[in-house]
Structure 1
Amino acid sequence: MTTLPSWQNEVDGGRKVGGMVRAALWLLTEVGEGNIFTKAELRAAFPEASQIDRRIRELRDRGWRIDTSRDDPSLKQEEQRFVSQGAQVWVPGQAKAPKHKNSLTAAQRQKVFEADSYLCRSCGIAAGEGYGDGDGLTRSVLNIARRKVLLPDGSEEYEFVTECKRCGSGSGDREVDLGALLEHAENLSPMERTVLAGWIAKGRREPEPIEKVWGIYQTLPAASRTAFAGALEDAAESDGESGENADSSGW
């Protein structure tokens, strides 16, 4: 096992060690994956670093998962959880920011929100709406997330998407395979593709009446499900008899 440099050393082998690297080593050796640390503990460990909080944020851009209360509601505002390690930033060449790193301006964020109709693209909730569960007091907060997209040619790129705080909590890095989605669409019948195109044009999908009935049926207790199934069977038999009579009468 490779011995890690000390997080306390500001110079290693004649090379100056930056705050981001030292913060990463401190997380690994002093905090440990899965454990919680506070902003006060972080600042106490680096009293000479005025922007050590920013160095922690820079680690997130290099694959380190460090949750805040925005990501994990169980955390207090001053707490953060070191979930998992990313790039080995203390290794020469590994501290470089990934190509998909791109801090959005206020205007760019607004453009993403507008393109997504100010809706979370995971659950469809709008900003400030209640989730309809729990105490009814929790309101949605929309953020901008980076989503990795696997393109049909095998390449990948990162695109921005609107996501609410709840959907983004603990989700880690999500990705979508655009090529696979296109293949699924090709396997649809012409009628199904027409219906899908209609949903896309409207920007929403209205459940069919039969789906609504099925959804309500699934919520029924066992005895009621049995009664409903029996009534539906009787209705089907009645429809069949009506059809036979219609056929014999010339309809």
Structure 2
Amino acid sequence: MRADPALVAALTREILPQGLGVAAGDPTYMPPHIDLAEARAVSGAVAHRAVEFHAGRATARAAMDVLGLPPQSILMGRDRAPVWPNGVTGSISHSKTACVAVVGPTAEWAGIGVDLEEATALDPLLIAEVCTKAEQRWLGQQPSDERGLMAKLIFSAKEAAYKAQYPVTGQLFGFEALELTIDRKTSRFKASFCAPQEAFAAGDILQGAYAHAAGLLVTGVAIRHSAQVDITSC
């Protein structure tokens, strides 16, 4: 069953600052008109991957339209990350039931990260890979029937934080490079850098938020050019 795009878009707007363009769609939707430049980027992909790619790009253009921006190609770099048009900063994410895109003007937003996941338990075999020792201790303090879902939340929040920092640093790194502090009362989180990453020092923090509804987890991080990062020890 596909998620309601209007609900996914509403959840995403709820967790991110105002002034961003947000749109959601069906990851199995193949647009009737395909951007030829984008099609070349996935010419060798399996069919379902190509459909997901084009659905995400169509959703991203819908997000651009929210801001009054003209439709433009969104190619794929060698690192497989979207190559956004000049002046646009954005992020795209897919789950099995929905896709979502968020964009903003580059003059204001240095990086945007959104991640969409099914609200299911993270595979227990992945917990040690995804979660630091401190995060695993936090999981142990959560109700036993919620630990798997909270582990998935940590995974998703790190994905969103990684996507947001990537346009700033251009750095590839693993889950161990960030440590999460989650406030379940406010549905907010902090992602702390455990080692220096170009513009970020060890202990710098990216602020984010999440929503859990309709069988989905949505996490988001947006970095303003003028933002002052918090400093804490990791």
Tell me if TM exceeds 0.5.
no
TM-score by length of 2: 0.27
Of Structure 1 and Structure 2, the greater helix share is in 1
Higher fraction of strand = 2
Pick the structure with greater CA Rg.
Answer: 1
